[in-house]
Structure 1
């Protein structure tokens, strides 16, 4: 009996211990550990990400270029879709059943428990049709967001566009905070200033019932966070000048870039042919992008930034400055127009100094200028002498921002090419080339390549007598100024006094008897300094270029025009640049008859005005 009595107490103790264990566990779950309650809460919680108001974009005069407009997307959570009446659903949305099936399949592949976009950019009628019936389709919901709208049909290449984040970007660390359903800047300023424009997301938690109907804020909004609007961008662009430049370049291929020399702010950035920025927004964006991509005129190419050209005779100015700085020549150095060295397209007097040589754009003169700079007897070996001289030349030329990216606030900039001795060693062999091999560099032909942006910056450098600020679009982010790198002054290796010595010749270019006399603004009391160029083209008619700045005494605009297959720079590019300068400095253009002839050929233009 005593034995049985002992076993009874043991069993009771075991039951008591088990009971206490369960009671303790229950107390922990219900009182101390909130994870189970949170899991239960999640069954009735809806997490709503609040996309901030994207920053706006303005021109230099406060004109609105890019704004926001509300649009609506239909999202789906695959796990929550129950007994979907596909026929009725497709009828309400006027959606092909194949598109619905493909959309649901893509959503399931992404996640069965997370929302995915099914139909984006719903029209007003589509929104009205589905919104009142959404209660009958569990798993679907409407989400509002802001899309871009444009106050201009110009400047598409620089503004860029906003689109859905590409699938290949989602796994990149840079885009770790983005959801596959998010939109972001894909190109242009929208991409470069994505962080500033986007702002900061907010989150709201809402209680919903089993039918998905909202029942109010969760815990009074204790866990909600506010979104922070993106910062506005105030650019240096003069949109009136931009639109005027695009009008003048209609029907052409080429570029117009204008810069404020004092700040580096880009005033106009014309890439022709162009397109309306509204084409890359809203429903059907992908299809319209493919249409532009397959267009034989290639309007998507950002020519001022990515098309590289031989600079032609504009480059003679850089070579002259570098040679003067080296002591190889002076402003009063004269060379004969010896066409046995290189062909000269102009009949002119003996270029007895640099001003006359620039006015007449004498090829043999500048051949001999660069020869004097490169071949200075640094070595008795003529091959090594050429190598040493060209290396010194390259270092000086690069100080003009050539042969490297300037660092403009757009992605995809090309750096061009300033060839080095190593470049020619690789091409011809070590000590197997001399100056006669590379003489075409002296007149801006051959291997030297620049972008139109770099060419405009050369004019800004000359206008400033030896320095420049990195060209940029944005002059102010919100209430602050431009990014720090755009406030830094860059100085060339050439002393300011040499710039003063070439400017008179540049003024003669646009004067009576100069190669760009059609560009003169003397009748308006505006002094301009410039240089024409006719660039040889292996694949067709020569390209025309002209670069200038004005007024000479107090420069406010530096400009470069490059027109493909347009012939002489003085009869096509120069008049166009002159109209742009007139429009910017005077606020209007009175030479309307010139506008009528610019879309025509250079030959017709010349005949009309002679």
Structure 2
């Protein structure tokens, strides 16, 4: 057998080699195609990107015709650069720069000389293109926004860079790719597949027909249409309510985890990042380090959650058995929790879970938090138990939603405090500020909204997501997987009862909407910033979380307004208005609407360094949006026609 092994291996290897050579030389002549590349011109046929619709089938993003001027540097001959530059309204310096860039990419392959010309810009050049040998044009589509809101959701389209070209062979110089938002996350679905045509040239460099009768040509495959979970009506309304304010709003359908609205303010009209002015406008927005319009506050901004966190403090205390619904705590406008330490409160008198919630009593929740930690002999162990309960609501971690950006937030554990206090022993008194959301806890607006969805569902949630339907595709199973919290279902009902009376008897009683049972919680978070190197106390952040209706909830929402003050002043009205808009498609609390739309916080933001040019541009856009009170175009999916 050993004598046969070596000859057998040699025979097998030789056979495989012969088969491979036969395949390459007789069957597959791809390498011949490459060797003849000098006599072949490659043309790409770019497909139309998939259209984007909202949850109700309303058209949000479509396409418009555009033209790229292409160049093959080696084929340039006798170019009248002055006439050429005049036709395209560019300088000679730009001409030289773009030609040099094309040469670096490849002297013999086509690359984009000037991208994204509209019909009027292209018309004059088209008549005289025959005079400019080495140049030709290719038609493609650019995004056409049917709405002037939702920029942070959609993202934008831009040219690929060389690093991406090296990483992904699908993309060539001048190709477009989605960046940020849905365009980036669903790029492979929306972009389609570009077609390729190989054109044979003669020795005089003239096109003489398809290479090999089109044997290697491929047809472009159009991108798939998608439906988002977004409700266009409340997305637009929320952005109007946030004019002249900064912050984030996230609304979720509790039973599914579908994101109904994802708002960041200030924002911008998505159409300004289309066409030849895209780069200029993007630079303006990018350099705005004051208002940060490209920074999605709904997903990225981490804030102390303030009083809404008391909801979890109460639930965990119930689960750990350190209180029940009748446990009473005395409040004397606060409570003394250690020698010389006093936590202030607006309340007074005896508080139990129910009125502790609707009065937002610091003394009550500070006390029950300390009881939760003191239940165990070891504070590090106790805080880890508490931390796991909090994290079961999706906090302190990346949530796994289908948008390309996000932050973890922060849920402290024993390791956190070991780093903070390495030289002395800490206990429940040291970390009691966690009880009221002012300790080491940080949350993003989407995490706050998800927390309320879990409360509305009495102990479970689905991963928030923005995709509802993909034409010809399926939704990721992780978005239909239920996540169950560590809190037993029975403990949610008394907490929900307290949240319901926040609107009836408590801090949000002035925000009631007749006929809608809303459960909510106001919040105010302390806010500090460095101004001229000095840590300065600024106006508190305004926070509000809610869900409605109380029975069979259809919307959970979190509103965060920077420097907005009390939760019931700015954030609360916004939440009530958006809930009514979603459930009824109209507003009866016109007093709240008028006050909220007219309220500006720009004077407070000016203290942080004034208004940049980017912010001024956004304010002009948003003010025109508000004055126009434009309606959403009701373009249904079955009436949409693709561009030719």
The TM-score with structure 2 as length reference comes to: 0.84
Q: Which runs of 5+ in 2 are unaligned?
A: 1-25, 530-537, 602-644
Counterparts in 2 of 1:290 and 1:500: CA distance versus 1, 3 Å? same
CA contact (8 A) 1:516 1:571 kept: no
Report the Cα distance in structure 2 between the residues aligned to 1:203 and 1:38, rounded to whole angstroms.
Answer: 13
Aligned to 2:506: 514
Counterparts in 2 of 1:78 and 1:520: CA distance versus 1, 3 Å? same
Pick one of 526, 529, 542 that aligns with 1:536. Answer: 526
Aligned length: 562
Report the Cα distance in structure 1 between the residues aligned to 2:598 and 2:40, rounded to whole angstroms.
Answer: 66
Aligned to 1:316: 310
Aligned to 2:546: 548
Pick one of 127, 131, 136 that aligns with 1:136. Answer: 131
Aligned to 2:11: none
Aligned to 1:114: 109
Aligned-residue offset at 1:327: 1.2
Aligned to 2:54: 59
Pick one of 227, 242, 246 that aligns with 2:220. Answer: 227
Q: What does the per-residue CA deviation read over 1:314-359, in whole Å, with 9 as the maximum and x for residues that have no partner?
A: 00101111121111211221211152234343234411x2111001
Aligned-residue offset at 1:507: 0.5
- Between stretches 551-560 and 563-572, larger displacement belongs to 563-572
Q: What does the per-residue CA deviation read over 1:453-477, in whole Å, with 9 as the maximum and x for residues that have no partner?
A: 0000011001101000011111111
Aligned to 1:152: 147
* Structure number, greater radius of gyration: 1
Q: Aligned with 1:49: secondary structure? A: strand
Aligned to 2:621: none
Aligned to 1:304: 298
Aligned-residue offset at 1:43: 4.9
Aligned-residue offset at 1:437: 1.2
Aligned-residue offset at 1:412: 1.8
Counterparts in 2 of 1:160 and 1:420: CA distance versus 1, 3 Å? same
Q: Aligned with 1:314: secondary structure? A: helix
Aligned to 1:584: 582
Aligned-residue offset at 1:215: 4.3
Aligned to 1:28: none
Q: Aligned with 1:270: secondary structure? A: strand
Aligned-residue offset at 1:420: 1.1
CA contact (8 A) 1:394 1:418 kept: yes
Counterparts in 2 of 1:425 and 1:359: CA distance versus 1, 3 Å? same
CA contact (8 A) 1:337 1:344 kept: no
Aligned-residue offset at 1:91: 2.5
Aligned-residue offset at 1:217: 3.2
Report the Cα distance in structure 2 between the residues aligned to 1:39 and 1:300, rounded to whole angstroms.
Answer: 43
Q: What does the per-residue CA deviation read over 1:576-601, in whole Å, with 9 as the maximum and x for residues that have no partner?
A: 11010010001111222322211456
Report the Cα distance in structure 2 between the residues aligned to 1:527 and 1:50, rounded to whole angstroms.
Answer: 55
Aligned to 2:373: 374
Q: How does 1:157-196 map to 2 (within 5 A)?
A: 157-172=152-167, 175-196=168-189
Report the Cα distance in structure 1 between the residues aligned to 2:441 and 2:479, rounded to whole angstroms.
Answer: 26
Aligned to 1:14: none
Aligned-residue offset at 1:37: 8.3
Report the Cα distance in structure 2 between the residues aligned to 1:36 and 1:304, rounded to whole angstroms.
Answer: 51
Q: What does the per-residue CA deviation read over 1:227-267, in whole Å, with 9 as the maximum and x for residues that have no partner?
A: 21111111110111111111111000111111000111101
Q: What does the per-residue CA deviation read over 1:25-83, in whole Å, with 9 as the maximum and x for residues that have no partner?
A: xxxxxx99989986896555322122222111100111111111110010111111122
Pick one of 319, 325, 330 that aligns with 1:331. Answer: 325
Counterparts in 2 of 1:211 and 1:281: CA distance versus 1, 3 Å? farther
Q: Aligned with 2:345: secondary structure? A: coil
Residue 500, structure 1, aligned to residue 471, structure 2: no
Aligned-residue offset at 1:123: 3.4
Report the Cα distance in structure 1 between the residues aligned to 2:141 and 2:547, rounded to whole angstroms.
Answer: 41
Pick one of 88, 97, 112 that aligns with 2:92. Answer: 97
Aligned-residue offset at 1:480: 4.0
Counterparts in 2 of 1:527 and 1:211: CA distance versus 1, 3 Å? farther
Report the Cα distance in structure 1 between the residues aligned to 2:388 and 2:472, rounded to whole angstroms.
Answer: 39
Higher relative contact order structure (alpha carbons within 8 Å, sequence separation ≥ 6) = 2
Aligned to 1:446: 439
The TM-score with structure 1 as length reference comes to: 0.88
Counterparts in 2 of 1:309 and 1:274: CA distance versus 1, 3 Å? same
Aligned-residue offset at 1:169: 2.4
Aligned-residue offset at 1:95: 2.0
Higher strand share: 2
Q: Which runs of 5+ in 1 are unaligned?
A: 1-30, 380-384, 604-610
Counterparts in 2 of 1:130 and 1:347: CA distance versus 1, 3 Å? same
Q: What does the per-residue CA deviation read over 1:192-228, in whole Å, with 9 as the maximum and x for residues that have no partner?
A: 1111111222212234556766544334322211121
Report the Cα distance in structure 2 between the residues aligned to 1:488 and 1:35, rounded to whole angstroms.
Answer: 46
CA contact (8 A) 2:240 2:597 kept: no
CA contact (8 A) 2:183 2:190 kept: yes
Q: What does the per-residue CA deviation read over 1:261-297, in whole Å, with 9 as the maximum and x for residues that have no partner?
A: 0111101111011101111111121110111122332
Residue 458, structure 1, aligned to residue 451, structure 2: yes
